[in-house]
Structure 1
């Protein structure tokens, strides 16, 4: 298979976030399959090659498969990589751009897969969920935090209404802000974790790409109360795997969260369902999915570039494309009109 190059804007400072951690984790995993390197395109770093330098020194199309992922940067990156093997590692959806025909999509959730299945139905589509790293486990620590809230992405309802009300009930509520070096330890000290990202993503017009925090919390044996927006609905099953937050009334939330903090065992995810989910989201399963997808993507690009099994180049096969929605609507209206006229 082709070597992989994962494109990220940078790996330090303002680029440090959950999405970056996922890309770096994926690059680490795929290195077990094919030679893999992380390439930056905004921030020059001594430990990573820079996109501009590689494009200047390497003739197109080159031998590597480029993986782009950074939402708003995707259209520009695809333009710079035109004529080269490329795939889109799709996390959040809703950025509004269209993919060129033939560009494969590696979707991290069924929600994102369905989005591109609608917008790019003729592009090769693959499901490669984000993987849960092995260190997300129950360490058996004393749980001295009744309710944990991560401030980033959390709704004003949770921070300004629910948290004060829980504290008035005498619960030990900890609101975590900023970067934490050992979030596993923090989850292991918590009985209940609240995650409510619906307002955050609705305000930005894009989707929750995967929703790792609730999954990580459940792996650490926390009781999770979460919103069910976008990709969170992929794996959260209210009442069985997690519980809905903002469920009708404030009093409903207060009663259920208080009860879960008092008796976590009665509110935790069903053991068999959780075990199956964690196995499906484990790194071995993700690696298997990437191996299958990369093999098919290689074959796809060989066809587009006209490469024979021996590596010789010929005339490539054009990729399939789909009509834009306005043309489809026009054709359907014309079809109805013709049917009406032919009566």
Structure 2
């Protein structure tokens, strides 16, 4: 009886052991079947990736747009603008004002530095009738420059200066014909005894003699005559300043400019600058004078006739005559 009970217990223990081994074998087989080659490769790649350093994104700062202003004649860089520094995105009205000021300075000059604008120096004839060439009118168009800068202010870029050059308005073949016909003339008189004053009249009259004024040309008395100083032969003589007669180098040249005014006033001209004396001067009717001073007041006009003319001066013992002549074929253009 005892032997049977022992054998039964032993068999029960063996069955339990076999069941446990079978369960462990099933679990191990299930685990191995889950670890496929694909999963192993993915795991290996993830492991390698974990070892690699993490790439950091480089932050590049934004570059502010820049405008380069170029002289088209020389391709020279003359000025650089950074719009953001001038308040382009903060205050557009103030920015435009700064650009307009820059354009003005480039055109007209600043602090003693000349700008691009240059008055025309008219061509003339020498005593033998040979042509002496002057210089054309040069203008930097300020409004166009401002427009060009504004167009590229957001993106930056290159801007060329809008420079306009105008040559004298006459044809070379007309030069020998310009003294054919007198179309206007005016004469004033002076005291022959006043030698210093008369010398100044003579020098300034010679300076404007045989000057060619083409169609559309601008004439400037101060530009044509130049400085009135001792180096150029001018003498001390009475001149009118603030309604008083005072001594000054070049006194008397206003008689030349006033005589010229009364001659060209008979032609189709447009006055650009014209000033009166502070008191009556006697050698022309009241209100018919044109006072000038070098570096200050000027007498300037534009020839609005569709033809060129020649200024001729005749200096005599007690008189000055200014004649305006042109080619016979152009006479009707001045009527």
Same fold (TM over 0.5): no
The normalised TM-score by structure 1 is: 0.22
The normalised TM-score by structure 2 is: 0.22
* Higher radius of gyration, 1 or 2: 2
Greater helix share, structure number:
1
